[in-house]
Amino acid sequence: MEKNNKNVSEIEMDGEEIKEYMELVHNFFQKMQDSYEDEKTKKEVWEEFLEYFEEDKFEKSIGREFFYDYFKLQTYKDFMKETRGKKQNPKLQKLINTAKQMESKDHLGVVNLPLNGTKDDRIISLIRAIIRSNGNIPYDTIVEVAKKGKTNMQQKVVKELVERIQQCVVSLEDYGIIDRNINDCNKIFEELGLSNLKFEKRNPPADEYGENVSSHEDVGVIDSFSEKLLEDRKLEDLILLDTFWESQYLTEKMKIAKAIKIINDMGDFGKDDVSARIPDADILIEDVISMQDLIMQLLHTKQMDIKEWGIVGNIENKEENISVVAINNSRFRGPLIMSIGTRILEQMLDVKEEELPEYKGYLSEEYSEIMSKILMFSNEYFKEEAKKSMIQENEKKGVKDNKKLKTYALIAGKKVKRDEDEEEIEK
């Protein structure tokens, strides 16, 4: 699959945006400097800041291990499906016999899960690994071992995703991106007349004893990414959440990197060459594309519990055409907005551009901007608040604010159709 590589110098930023990111870098640097109370020189603190920035990039690559674990989990699930119904499924017994024969002929060779093999090939490899670890055990014992393996692998994959999401969010908070995005979103909420739905940065659902300590029942943005609130979520939902924040992290880190290079080139801290410390975006870009590919395959094969997905618009730039995809998952606070190169999307789904599905649900340009900045799970308080506001808006006499009404309905989890004459975003 083709890549859309982009290095730091190629990132397009206007003067105002460069100034904004230089200020974000300066604020983070200043916090580090203040923490030392003049114990270190500016140059020493700048060096430490660069070290943090450099180390941060290595922590964020999700790597091949996740995808191997994910497909191993799917193989466990495929195996367990074969155990349903009859006490001993003849097809599964045949696969077990094949695995035992292969092990008897080659019990020392490496057994890897063939990611590009058939479902049966993967199940046979899984059974071989079970037999190699547990000996020539009978059918029922193999099933029990596989059942435990599925549970353990599910926990491992979820843990990997939760840690990944948390790493991205914590890093973005360090650089001041989360605060900025919350403020930007809350301004849009006010403009839409939806002030009661504004984000709070911190509002923990409970203290260490489980007692509610919030001023109301909604959860703060940062608090919504606690391990406790994420670990019981659907795996596919965590994949969506991870892909959003991974993409956010990639975009913001590249812009921060450009600001760092400009500040360094100005010579305020000496003119050291920081080129080697600026992240190579290739690995992160591959991560994002791989996760987007996984999402598209799950959508294409109807393995995701969502209301609707499709193209809401296109962005044309010098390099390529970008498709803007919306995925309406009622467990989030609105549709996930995701930008994918149109050619890459065609390759993912093996279709032509005109065959890509169109998103038919309602999505205002303003609310899509909110969803492009912060994605977090919804909760009953948030939905009920939107539902009450929707009813109140609907009961008003005279001309109703259709945009406000539809946005409340969307957030409340209702299926809302787009007006025929409403333009698609970024078209």
Task: Report the alpha-carbon distance of residue 248 to residue 239 in Å, rounded.
Answer: 14
pLDDT at 393: 83
Q: For the sheet containing 308-316, what is the strand order? A: 308-316, 321-328, 336-341
DSSP string, 77-107: HHHHHTTSSSSS-HHHHHHHHHHHHHHHH-S
Q: Which two tokens stand for residue 342?
A: 């149109």
Task: Report the alpha-carbon distance of residue 177 to residue 183 in Å, rounded.
Answer: 10
Listed as ranges, residues in the chain with pLDDT below 70 are 1-10, 57-63, 86, 206-217, 270-280, 318, 419-427
Q: 15: closest CA among 262, 239, 311, 257?
A: 262
Q: How far is CA 383 from CA 331, 388, 417, in A?
A: 10, 9, 18
Residue 422 C-alpha from the chain's centroid: 29
Alpha-carbon torsion angle 93, 99, 101, 104, nearest 10: -140
3-state secondary structure of 368: helix
pLDDT at 31: 93
